[in-house]
């Protein structure tokens, strides 16, 4: 062997038993599911740190993002959820949970993520009512829209009676009512219950694209990744009906900016809809026909 002038680099060897030792600390009373999830989490976290040679400073910076997200979260803001959303995690978990993602016409309506702005106890309204109860000043009146269609059983095609459609969207300024002191409580939210024929209809506004809140950790990450915070115009729905699987979903305006570039990766083809100019109804500028299909248990 030849002598070289340069001393060999000291090669770092990770203790090959370390990760398993941490996993093995789990006690016998952990439930199987908790054991499975944490074993996998520990494995992935350790691999992530080793593969990227994560430094103490970088780990601390990540922790600070999480802690800041926690500090700024309350009942009106779920910053942790937003952070997950911009990494596509809520969309992925939605897909895994419901496994209904499909654009086939013989399937139930596809699901989409809940997002951080749903509120329990939206007002019950009579079919045909409007969810617009006030408009924030300065951003226009919005385009008044008649949304209507049917809720049917996807297998039998029969109408679903007693289906509750829980609906919400933003004002023309791009803010949900809980984000905006100018809007009346529960503005642009409502719950509508179908009758025997399974039909529904309500007035709302044609939604607009808007940024997710970017004044916190999610915004910092977006900036660091050279990404924008915008979502395409959408209306949220939760459909529930006795004997049927609930559907959490959103519908998206085909002509909206960001339809192919959603900051939270929620758009599916079957959920893209066409708003149509609407004549003959003094209460609406546009109509949006959309039918929902539910799956019985």
Residues in contact with ligand MBD by CB under 6 A are 82, 85, 113, 115-117, 212, 231, 264, 266
Q: Which does 233 bind (CB under 5 to 8 A by kind): Fe ion, ligand MBD, none?
A: none
Residues in the chain: 297
Stretch that binds Fe ion, among 102-110, 111-119, 128-136, 269-277 (CB under 5 A): 111-119
Specify whether the CB–CB gap between 99 and 237 falls below 8 A.
no
User: CB under 5 to 8 A by kind: which of Fe ion, ligand MBD, none does 205 bind?
Assistant: none
* Cβ-contact 207, 140 below 8 angstroms: no
85 binds, among ligand MBD, Fe ion, none (CB under 5 to 8 A by kind): ligand MBD
Identify what 266 binds: ligand MBD, Fe ion, none; CB under 5 to 8 Å per kind. ligand MBD
**Residue 116 in contact with Fe ion, rule: CB under 5 A:** no
Q: If 0-12 CB within 10 Å is exposed, 13-18 middle and 19+ buried, where does residue 74 land?
A: exposed
Residue 172's binding partner out of Fe ion, ligand MBD, none, with CB under 5 to 8 Å set by partner kind: none
Q: State the minimum distance, in angstroms, from the CB of residue 265 to ligand MBD.
A: 9
Work out how close the CB of 258 gets to Fe ion at its nearest, in angstroms, rounded to a whole number. 12
Phi and psi at residue 172, in whole multiples of 5°? -60, -15
User: Using CB under 5 A, which of 108, 115, 174, 213 touches Fe ion?
Assistant: 115
Interface contacts to Fe ion, rule CB under 5 A? 115
């Amino acid at each position: 062997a030849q002598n070289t002038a340069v001393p060999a680099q000291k090669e770092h060897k990770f203790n090959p038993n370390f990760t398993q030792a941490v996993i093995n600390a789990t006690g016998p009373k952990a439930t199987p599911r908790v054991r499975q999830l944490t074993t996998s989490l520990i494995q992935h976290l350790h691999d992530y740190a080793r593969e990227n040679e994560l430094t103490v400073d970088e780990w601390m910076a990540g922790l600070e993002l999480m802690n800041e997200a926690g500090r700024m979260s309350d009942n009106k803001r779920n910053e942790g959820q937003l952070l997950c959303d911009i990494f596509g995690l809520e969309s992925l978990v939605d897909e895994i949970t419901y496994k209904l993602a499909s654009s086939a016409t013989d399937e139930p309506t596809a699901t989409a993520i809940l997002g951080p702005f749903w509120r329990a106890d939206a007002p019950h309204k009579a079919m045909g009512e409007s969810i617009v109860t006030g408009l924030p000043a300065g951003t226009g009146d919005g385009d008044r829209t008649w949304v209507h269609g049917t809720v049917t059983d996807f297998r039998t095609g029969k109408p679903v009676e007693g289906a509750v459609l829980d609906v919400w969207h933003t004002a023309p300024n791009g803010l949900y009512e809980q984000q905006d002191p100018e809007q009346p409580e529960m503005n642009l939210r409502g719950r509508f219950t179908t009758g025997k024929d399974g039909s529904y209809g309500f007035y709302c506004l044609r939604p607009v694209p808007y940024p997710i809140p970017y004044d916190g950790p999610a915004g910092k990450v977006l900036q660091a990744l050279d990404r924008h915070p915008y979502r395409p115009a959408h209306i949220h729905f939760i459909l529930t009906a006795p004997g049927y699987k609930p559907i959490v979903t959103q519908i998206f305006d085909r002509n909206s900016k960001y339809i192919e570039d959603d900051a939270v990766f929620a758009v599916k083809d079957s959920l893209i809809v066409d708003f149509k100019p609407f004549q003959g109804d003094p209460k609406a500028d546009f109509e949006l026909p959309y039918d929902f299909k539910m799956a019985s248990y």
